Amino acid sequence: MTKILVIEDELEVRENILETLKAEKFDVTEAENGFAGTRLAIALQPDLIICDVMMPQLDGYGVLRVLRQNENTATIPFIFLTAKSEKADWRRGMELGADDYLIKPFSTKELLAAIAARLQGRVALEKKHAKELKELENKYSNLLYYDSLTKLPNRLSLRSLFEEARAKLSLETQHSASNTGSSTDNLSAKGETLLEGKGFAPIAKPEAPTKKMLPVLCLGLDRLSRINETLGYSFGDLLLKAVAKRLTNFLEPGHVVARLNSDQFAIVPGAIAQRNEASKIAENLLAAIAKPFLLEGKEVFVTASTGMAVYPQDGQRIDQLLQKANKAMRRVKESGGNNYQFYIAVWHRASDEILALENGLRYALDADEFELYYQPQVDLQTGQIVGAEALLRWQHPQLGLVSPAKFIPLAEESGLIVPIGEWVLKTACQQSKAWQAAGFPSLRMAVNLSGRQFALPNLRQRLVQILMEASFNPEYLDLELTESIVIQDPKAASGILQLLKTLGVKIAIDDFGTGYSSLSYLQQFPFDLLKIDRCFIKNISKNPTNQALTKSIIEMAHSLNLQAIAEGVETEAEMGLLRQYKCDLMQGYLFSKPLPALKFEQLLR
């Protein structure tokens, strides 16, 4: 039953609402002041809150502010009741994150309509989509979860397999911890009851160390491209299959091998008690790979480089761990390959170039060295430009144009991304507004949001400020976020996104398909658009697996009521396929590269 909390100090109004809601079979709770209401909201976590603005002591704004800051209540739909019809009043409520308001006196019909509108978006639709999505995922599961060449689990499966291993580990750790109290229990728990069974007294044995770490290995074949070039890609594929087989045979049941991309594999062996056990595993793996492969009558030798990270020391989540393992692997490759190494937190990085960039970044904003380029987003059915993605460019005084792929990560690390990102938002909104004012058809403006920005406690306020200053209608703004940003703390992220959406902005999930989360996992976030990463689109016309994947992603996006947009469309053939798959929008060099504002304007004309 749907729970509704009504916070209203006027008895008569409160009882009227209660009566109406009970007649509609809602599970209603009442509070006669703001304090009681806040407490009840946190304790009950209702599906909807209806709250009066004018109340003594803690008024409706105060209640809303408290609830929006509490992660358990941040996303509960909130309807204000206000006696005043002044605009400033409800505007303040909406700014604080209210979802709707009713002006007193309101009719039963108005009340129920407002409630229905709020609940619909949340409960009913979500359930329907979840079911549909599950069916689609089952239908495509081979494609979505396994690598088509080696039949190994892919990156997406790795996430759930790792979660399983992690859950098992924590169970075992708990188990051994709860058993250390009694020595007999302790022994029997490990299946060592033999001595007891034969009438011996249990002997105190040295404690076996508890296994509490999970190593994650990233193994990359050395010089696969050389083999592809000299012996052909189909031979390379044969080799990859053989390597996959060897890796699988090497591991014990329950341990995981997955293929990450062309020449990289991830391995999650069982739990270990000490780091050097992981070294042993890596050593054996390398030795196994180093034995010659006999393929099509040829004897081939390959070597591999392995980087390792360890849960929980190096991270909690598989993507953090793999990122670190990968960094370690690249180090190994740089120093010649055929070796292994752990991730080390304090590698002194900073080549001279990076230091120079980092220094330069500090002054770039003041020195006006940034510029925004705009890349059109095109409706695949009509061929019209319907939006643009703002992409940052840095004109370095000595180095020339520096790629954002290079300096954004540095800006992230140093925190400079916060002022830079704010400048981007401001500039993009102003530019978009200027185009609207000049009479161009209203376009959507997409802006990339970094993780650091997303974590800012006053993000919503800053956004309101920027939108107001530019008098830009938030309905035209898309914020692009990558999966890694939202999955760090899904519950909080969901809350933040809901809050942002109350402004009217749309949220896009960027680079979809490159991370470790499936759509059914990501559907807990209120996204509006899904951007299919360009690695799927690249060569799509020649790659049946990518065709099938792209098609299924589009279908799933649609089942969730998300618009699908394909990135990196470079050829007519790719566009044709995407149109056939009913993809909504596209972006890519085929239509246009990102352009400076003036050039973009010419394109619009």
State the residues that interact with ligand C2E by CB under 6 A: 375, 391-392, 403-405, 408, 421, 424, 448, 450, 510-511, 534, 567-570, 587-589, 594
Residue 293's alpha-carbon distances to 156, 281, 289, 327, 336, in angstroms, are: 29, 21, 9, 28, 21
- Closest to Ca ion by CB, 263 or 510: 510
Least distance (Å) between residue 32 CB and ligand C2E: 47
| The entry of ligand C2E, Ca ion, none that residue 502 binds, CB within 5 to 8 Å by partner kind | none
Nearer to ligand C2E, 347 or 589 (CB): 589
Cα 94–chain centre separation: 27
∠ at Cα 14 (10, 15), nearest 5°?
120
Smallest distance from the beta carbon of 500 to Ca ion, in angstroms? 16
The residue (of 270 and 568) whose beta carbon lies closer to Ca ion is 568
Binding site for Ca ion (CB under 5 A): 448, 480, 510-511
d(CA 213, CA 313): 8
In DSSP notation, 511-544 reads EETSSS--HHHHTTS--SEEEE-HHHHTTGGG-H
- Closer to ligand C2E by CB, 146 or 370: give it: 370
User: In the 3-class helix/strand/coil scheme, how is 262-315 assigned residue by residue?
Assistant: CCEEEEECCCECCHHHHHHHHHHHHHHHHCCEEECCEEECCCEEEEEEEECCCC
CB of 5 to ligand C2E, least distance (A): 38
Q: Least distance to Ca ion from the beta carbon of 567, Å?
A: 5
The nearest distance, CB 158 to Ca ion, in angstroms, is 21
Query: Which residue(s) pair with 220 in the sheet?
Result: 264, 305
Distance of CA 9 to the CA centre of its chain: 42
Measure the CA dihedral 94/99/105/111, to 10°.
170
CB of 406 to ligand C2E, least distance (A): 9
Task: Give how far Cα 197 sits from Cα of 183, 490, 515, Å.
Answer: 15, 50, 52
Q: Which is nearer to ligand C2E, 143 or 365 (CB)?
A: 365
Q: Select the binding partner of residue 392 from Ca ion, ligand C2E, none (C-beta < 5 to 8 A, by kind).
A: ligand C2E
Nearest approach, Cβ of residue 577 and ligand C2E (Å): 15
Least distance (Å) from ligand C2E to the CB of residue 29?
Answer: 43
Q: What is the largest CA-CA distance in the chain?
A: 94
Strands 214-221 and 264-268: antiparallel
Question: How many Cα atoms occupy the beta-carbon half-sphere of 501 within 13 Å?
Answer: 21
Q: How far is the CB of 452 from ligand C2E (least distance, A)?
A: 9
Angstrom distance (rounded) from CA 198 to CA 200: 6
Alpha helices in 5-44 (DSSP H): 11-23, 34-44
User: What is the C-alpha separation between 41 and 76, in angstroms, rounded?
Assistant: 9
Could you say which of Ca ion, ligand C2E, none residue 404 binds, taking C-beta under 5 to 8 angstroms by partner kind?
ligand C2E
Nearest by Cα to 483 from 493, 473, 475: 493
Residue located via tokens 């009713």: 102
Q: Residue 272 or residue 391: which is nearer to ligand C2E going by CB? A: 391
Q: Which of ligand C2E, Ca ion, none has residue 202 at its interface (CB below 5 to 8 Å by kind)? A: none
Select the binding partner of residue 588 from Ca ion, ligand C2E, none (C-beta < 5 to 8 A, by kind): ligand C2E
Q: Which is nearer to ligand C2E, 426 or 534 (CB)?
A: 534
> Is the CB of 324 or the CB of 534 nearer to ligand C2E?
534
Query: Given the complex with ligand C2E, which of 46 and 594 has the nearer CB atom?
Result: 594
Least distance to ligand C2E, CB of residue 405, Å? 5
Residue with tokens 């050097």: 276
Cβ closest to Ca ion, residue 100 vs residue 480:
480
CA distance 578 to 21: 48
Work out how close the CB of 572 gets to ligand C2E at its nearest, in angstroms, rounded to a whole number. 13
| 3-state SS string for 542-556 | HCHHHHHHHHHHHHH
Residue 28's region, left for phi above 0, alpha for psi from -120 to 50, else beta, is beta
> In 3-state terms, what secondary structure has residue 596?
strand
- Looking at the Cβ atoms of 114 and 418, the one nearer to ligand C2E is 418
Closest contact distance (angstroms) between CB of 351 and Ca ion is 27
Q: Which residue from 75, 44, 46, 41 is spatially nearest to 58, judged by alpha carbons? A: 41
Residue 370: enclosing H or E segment and its boundaries?
Answer: strand 370-379
424 binds, among Ca ion, ligand C2E, none (CB under 5 to 8 A by kind): ligand C2E
Q: Which is nearer to Ca ion, 118 or 452 (CB)?
A: 452
How far is CA 392 from each of CA 320, 327, 597, rounded to the nearest angstrom? 26, 26, 12
